[in-house]
Amino acid sequence: MTARLVPASDAALEAAAQALSAAPVDSPGIRDHAWLHAEPAEALRRLQLARDHRIEHGGLAWVVLADEVAVGYISARIYDDGHRAETFSVVARANQGLGVGLEARRLVLEALAAAGVRSVVSLARPDSASAAISRKLGYELSGAETRAHPEGFRVELERYELQLKA
């Protein structure tokens, strides 16, 4: 599997929305997210809103391709005068557990380092694929944060941080 990031254009987001809203895969290991329960049109609307919000506030957003097929979305919020970033990623259920999320995050770290970002944060549920990816990429656990989940409740998340080499 070869992962690649492309700018989150409307056409790329439309392909990602189709993948993210595809029927669930019956596997106990599959990680879930509110965005993975929407019809394609609603998934596209949420992706566009997220992308527009990111870009309007100086961040970056990409669609993740696996072997040239759109399977996910990854974004970086940039703050502290461009020195710090926080990433968020989601991969379609059918494509999880194959290394796409890890490779997408690695590619984003390269892009952020090239853009002058010095440290990166990722918030993850304990024992999640996202936390595992952070540890694999050398992030260190730096604390915990409570955030509002899109469905209304609050979630306890671990905060992982990585210092990037210039």
Ligand X SMILES: CC(C)(COP(=O)(O)OP(=O)(O)OC[C@H]1O[C@@H](n2cnc3c(N)ncnc32)[C@H](O)[C@@H]1OP(=O)(O)O)[C@@H](O)C(=O)NCCC(=O)NCCS
**What is the contact surface with ligand X in residues (CB under 6 A)?**
29, 31, 33, 88-91, 96-102, 122, 124, 128-130, 132-133
**Between 87 and 164, whose beta carbon lies closer to ligand X?**
87
- Cβ nearer to ligand X, comparing 13 with 124: 124
Which residue, 5 or 90, is less far from ligand X as judged by CB?
90
Closest-by-Cβ residue to ligand X is: 101
CB of 94 to ligand X, least distance (A): 10
Q: Are 67 and 99 in contact (CB under 8 A)?
A: no
**Structure token pair of residue 123:** 């918030």
Instruction: Provide the token pair at 165.
Output: 């080499």
Tokens of 2: 């070869």
**Nearest-CA neighbor of 105 among 128, 79, 82?**
128
As measured in angstroms, the least distance from the Cβ of 16 to ligand X is 12
φ/ψ (deg, to 5) at 147: -130, 155
